[in-house]
Amino acid sequence: MIIMALNCGSSSVKYQLFDWDTREVVAKGMVERVIIGDSFILHEVPGRETYRHEQDCANHQAAIDLLIKTVTDSVHGVINSVDQISAVGHRVVHGGEKFTCSVMIDESVLDAVKEVQHLAPLHNPPNIEGIEAAQALMPTIPHVAIFDTAFHQTMPEHAYIYPLPYEWYEKYQVRRYGFHGTSHLYVSKRASVLLGKNPADCNIVTMHIGNGVSHCAIQNGISVDTTMGLTPLEGAVMGTRCGDIDPAIPAFMMQKENLSAKEIDSILNKKSGVIGVTGRFTDRRDVIENAGAGDKRCQLALDIEAYRLKKYIGAFMAAVGKLDAVVFTAGVGEMGALIREKSIEGLEHMGIHLDKERNRGAMTRKRETLITTDDSPVKVYVIPTDEELVFTEDVVAILNGTYTDHMNFEYSFARADFVRK
């Protein structure tokens, strides 16, 4: 059984083909610069050199058509025909309040996703375009939606309702939703295995740190709070997003710089965060290198990010009660030893005892690593995330009729005998 995972962004289409029978990724890749010109595909197959092919893709349907031709190509492909694909799982960033788990896509589901696209205007429209394009090109294959927001639908009202006019929630669904749900689900399940406990008995703070950053407070196995809000702009410092700021700042700067609402939104989302402070970088490797060379603004960006991370660890420890573990994941979380160290040093009074040597050694996206001392009351792990595996297992379970909510459905990676390939 071959499952395709699709993640359609505004100008890219990421894909993965997973062989469920052998539990192996058989191919993955990305079509870049969709719509904007000079498009190309990067196609990776284990044991082969990465294949690159340039071909303009004026829309998402052209991009998906290109990837289908690539994966079925007689030389570079891995399957003979698209008919060998059993189902397609689509990442959908925002599902609003309607979706609490993954679902088979039909007309009513697609309409519901369209109804909430105003809540994620940068993400849901290309997600929808990708679904419609894939359905047009693969009409006989089942399509499944996997929602970033679904994992966080267990949050209580006091965590997701903003202290704003309540009619804004009633009329426009203004509330906290949270994102990166599949990543938080995966690493929290893996952490429970490493702890030797049932997920329902675990209190964990998960830290997804990449270009986008979000943290999740997990109490007794379910999300009870998270840092991102109505949109992915709220919360921690990110590569280009500001995270938490005084809400009066946008109006103040609109007046000072004569900016429109669209312009200020673009600045907060694309020109703030790490790049806003450094003026040059979003990649934390560049920031760390230049901070070491004496760049004061790079050092400041590191200090700000680590300080904010530390504050959220403390806040979420207060939210969940006695904490079992903190988990770092995603690009920076998995590779940024210095950022991890700066964000948890000084938390010994909260039961976190960092082992600096272990932390410095945890610089791989292939291994799960404990970075606290053996006697640390609260464990800290670095766990590589695998959102595509969550996609795949949801899709297979839906096809088999065995799927249910994540606390009752047994994922393979939530078992003690799971081996990451």
> Three-class SS of residue 25?
strand
Integer distance in angstroms from the first to the last C-alpha of the chain? 17
Whether 199 and 223 have beta carbons less than 8 Å apart is answered as no
Whether 235 and 200 have beta carbons less than 8 Å apart is answered as no
Whether 217 and 319 have beta carbons less than 8 Å apart is answered as yes
> Three-class SS of residue 299?
helix
**DSSP assignment of 172-222, as one string?**
H--S-----HHHHHHHHHHHHHHHTS-GGG-EEEEEEESSSEEEEEEETTE
For residue 414, how many other CB atoms are within 10 A of its CB? Answer: 19
In angstroms, the CA 216 to CA 219 distance is 10
Beta strand 325-329 with 203-209: parallel, antiparallel or unpaired?
parallel
Catalytic residue among 65, 148, 295, 394: 148
Six-digit token string for 275: 């790049």
Beta strand 85-92 with 143-147: parallel, antiparallel or unpaired?
parallel
In angstroms, the CA 95 to CA 340 distance is 31
In angstroms, the CA 112 to CA 96 distance is 9
Six-digit token string for 211: 């270009």
Residues forming beta bridges with residue 381, ordered by sequence position: 327, 370
Name the H helices within 258-294.
Answer: 261-270, 273-278, 284-292
For residue 157, how many other CB atoms are within 10 A of its CB? Answer: 8
In angstroms, the CA 196 to CA 270 distance is 41
Whether 215 and 323 have beta carbons less than 8 Å apart is answered as no
Length of the chain in terms of residues written: 421
Distance from the Cα of residue 147 to its chain's centroid: 11
**Residue 148 is a catalytic residue:** yes
Structural element, H or E, at residue 41: strand 40-44
Whether 146 and 113 have beta carbons less than 8 Å apart is answered as no
Sign of the torsion formed by the C-alpha atoms of 92, 95, 99 and 101: positive
- The residues assigned a catalytic role are 148
